Amino acid sequence: MSAAARASKRKDAVRRGWSVYVLVSKVSNRTYVGIALDPKTRLAQHNGELPGGAKATRGFRPWRIGRRFGPYETRAEAQRVEHAVKRLRGTARCRARVESCSTTRDAALGG
């Protein structure tokens, strides 16, 4: 992929916004929470199909996206939600609901 194509793809992803994703390992009960502009590309990185996956996910490949939150306008918003979801454990991360405030998205989790 050329540099121009990568730049165009990134601009499209920025327009869509930041997403918080919960990965679930297909070989264990492990979960992993992260943020990305393009969760599908990030999943390919975590699965070793593309360079750049997190070290913490290498031993439990393959992964699938169990839940996705967003899109969020800013990275800071996505990081607040990521922090709230990371406080949960296991598959509870996939069942979490992120509630919205009237003015901005809030990282408060509902039951």
Q: Which of 110, 97, 104 is nearest to 20 (CA)?
A: 97
Residues 57, 22 contacting (CB under 8 angstroms)? no
Whole-number pLDDT of residue 16: 81
Query: Domains plus CATH for the chain?
Result: 3-110 (3.40.1440)
Percent of the chain exceeding pLDDT 90 equals 68
More confident residue, 2 or 22: 22
Residues 24, 63 contacting (CB under 8 angstroms)? yes
Structure tokens at 105: 């998205």
Q: Distance between CA 51 and CA 39 in Å, rounded?
A: 14
Q: What does pLDDT average to over the chain?
A: 85
Q: Given a cut of 70, is residue 56 above it in pLDDT?
A: yes
